[in-house]
Amino acid sequence: MRGRAERVSPEQALRLLEEGDLPDLGRRADAVARRLHPEPYRTYAVDRNINFSNLCECRCRFCAFWRSPGDPEAYVLDTEALFAKIDEAVRLGATHILGQGGLSPRLDLAYYEGLLRKIKARFNILLHCFSPPEIHYMAGREGLPVRTVLERLRAAGLDSLPGGGAEILVDRVRRSISPNKCTTGEWLDVMRAAHSLGMPTSATMVFGHVETPAERVEHLARLRDLQDSGGGFLSFIAWPFQAPNTALAASGDLGPDWRPVGGAEYLRLVAVARIFLDNIPNVQASWVTMGPKIGQVALAFGANDLGSTMIEENVVAATGCVHRASPGMLRRLIEGAGFEARQRNSRYQTSAP
Ligand code: SF4
Q: What is the 3-state secondary structure (H, E, C) of 217-272?
A: HHHHHHHHHHHHCCCCEEEEEEEECCCCCCHHHHHCCCCCCCCCCCHHHHHHHHHH
Angle, helix 79-91 to helix 109-122, in steps of 10 degrees: 40
* Residue nearest (by alpha carbon) to ligand 1 atom 7: 102
* Distance from Cα 341 to the centre of ligand 1, integer Å: 33
* Distance from Cα 134 to the centre of ligand 1, integer Å: 9
Atom of ligand 1 nearest to the CA of 181: 3
Query: What pLDDT is stored for residue 313 in this prediction?
Result: 62
* Distance from Cα 59 to the centre of ligand 1, integer Å: 6
CB 48 within 8 A of CB 95: no
Query: What pLDDT is stored for residue 62 in this prediction?
Result: 85
Across the chain, the runs of DSSP E, i.e. the strands, are 41-45, 47-51, 96-100, 126-129, 201-207, 233-240, 282-284, 305-308, 340-344
* Residue nearest (by alpha carbon) to ligand 1 atom 4: 60
Query: What pLDDT is stored for residue 310 in this prediction?
Result: 74
Q: Pocket residues for ligand 1 (CB within 6 Å)?
A: 56, 58-60, 63, 65-66, 102-103, 133, 178, 181
CB 177 within 8 A of CB 60: yes
Residue 338, H or E segment: none
Query: What pLDDT is stored for residue 69 in this prediction?
Result: 87
* Distance from Cα 109 to the centre of ligand 1, integer Å: 18
Query: What pLDDT is stored for residue 217 in this prediction?
Result: 98
CB 138 within 8 A of CB 103: no
Q: Which residues of the chain have pLDDT under 70?
A: 1-5, 312-324, 352-353
C-alpha 195/C-alpha 100 separation (Å) is: 19
Atom of ligand 1 nearest to the CA of 131: 2
C-alpha 170/C-alpha 216 separation (Å) is: 9
Query: What pLDDT is stored for residue 312 in this prediction?
Result: 67
pTM of the full structure: 0.94
Please tell us whether the domain made up of 10-46+126-310+324-342 is placed in CATH 3.40.630.30.
no
Full DSSP string of 53-65: B-B-S---TT-S-
Q: Which of 62, 66, 178 to mutate to test the pocket of ligand 1 (most atoms within 8 A of CB)?
A: 66
Query: What pLDDT is stored for residue 321 in this prediction?
Result: 58
The domain locations on the chain are 10-46+126-310+324-342
